[in-house]
Chains A and B, each alone.
Chain A
Amino acid sequence: METLIGKKLGMSRIFEEDGTAVPVTVIEAGPCSIVAIRTTEKHGYNAYQLGYGHRRESLYNKPDMGQFKAAGVSPIRYLREVRVDELSELKVGDIIKVDLFKQGQKVDVVGTSRGLGFAGVMKRWHFSGGKATHGQSDRMRAPGSIGQASYPARVFRGHKMAGRMGGETKTVIGLRVARVIPEENLILIQGSVPGKANSLVKIKMSTRK
């Protein structure tokens, strides 16, 4: 189980010993407690339910609180399940910390990309837009032709057009762990990760080497 849930705090820049400046994303990762374990026998799949963050007890109803009481943990804000092929020796109530990751390792980060609302084709699909001159008007950000004429007399499915952009679950793979600060539960990951500051992210060991 090599996954942690955390909160993206924002970006910064650190210096390596040789003076190289490294752009990093600062993430508060964990501590995550294991709230429940799903097993093939009982639930049909293997997974750990990870909890991150704190929330007032009064905001939870009794059934929800019962879940936390059973796991022996304080009320948790975020609960996420992490599927695994095989369950390891982790028990309910165990706590996973950021020292799971080591400097220099490659990780994948899953987050929700920034919601950009209804975006035009230039922003959404990198269309080049229309001409600014040669008698053009109101065509600078237009998509241009979206198809042919009486045959096929329709627009093909999946054609790139304006629409809702962002706010999707995105994964960035193969990011380098620039630094781990266990005392503060911080992990600095080289490069950018999806989402705005204070958004929830999932960090896992990279599927790529």
Chain B
Amino acid sequence: MKRIAQLENQYVRDVARFNPGDTIRVHYRIKEGDKERIQVFQGTVISRRGSGTGKSFTVRKISSGIGVERVFPLYSPNIEKVERLTMGRVRRAKLYYLRKLTGKSARIKTRLGEKADKERTKDKAAPVVEAKAEVAPVVEVKADDKPATDKKAE
């Protein structure tokens, strides 16, 4: 097992730090014939699973009223980058319950605790930006938690 872990290490890279409940934006490289373009998929992380190079995560969003989920292999070279927009305060590792919820109840509280702030300054590549209005499920941001610079939406 050790040798396999060693072998897998060369594929493991620091994609981005994010957890279930976070709203992220995945920049995914798509090949169409000879052309290559970057597609952005934005939504809530509802699960992270797997081990080694087989790690993957599921992102859920509501696209024109219909729930869309997409599973990305975490270490796929096609993932250009992952931006974290907000961090969610959730109490489950797998947020499958969101599938049954719509509207107000499908919101996730954002987390901007002391730990979060520390992580934010450490990880400047993925700054915590408040979600834009089109993000669904809508992210609830408490007024007193809201950083002054991030007053873009709502």
Q: Which residue of A lies closest to B6 (CB)?
A: A184
- Residue in chain A with minimal CB distance to B53: A13
Whose C-beta in chain A lies nearest to the C-beta of B28?
A: A19
- The answer to whether A15 and B76 touch across the interface, beta carbons within 8 angstroms, is yes
Q: Within 8 Å of chain B (Cβ to Cβ): is A12? A: yes
Is B8's CB within 8 Å of the partner chain A?
yes
* Total contacts A-B at CB 8 Å: 41
The prevalent SS among residues of A at the interface is: strand
Residues of B53-82 contacting chain A, CB below 8 A: 53-54, 73, 75-78
What is the bound-complex CA distance between A188 and B29, given in angstroms?
26
Enumerate chain A residues within 8 angstroms of B53, measured Cβ to Cβ.
12-15
Assess whether A34 is interfacial by the CB under 8 Å rule.
no
CA distance A181 to B10 in the complex (A): 13
A21 part of interface (Cβ distance < 8 Å): yes
Residues on the B chain within 8 Å of A28, using CB? 3
Size bracket of the A interface: 10 to 19
Query: Which residues of A1-53 are within 8 A (CB) of B?
Result: 9-10, 12-15, 17-19, 21, 26, 28
Q: A14-B53, A26-B7 are in contact. Are A19 and B76 (CB under 8 A)?
A: yes
Chain B nearest Cβ from A158, distance in angstroms: 41
- Which chain A residues have a beta carbon within 8 Å of chain B's beta carbons? 9-10, 12-15, 17-19, 21, 26, 28, 181, 184, 186, 188, 197
Q: Which B positions have Cβ atoms within 8 angstroms of A?
A: 1, 3-4, 7-8, 11, 29, 31, 52-54, 73, 75-78
Question: Which 3 A-B pairs rank lowest in CB-CB distance, beginning with the nearest?
Answer: A19-B78, A13-B53, A13-B54
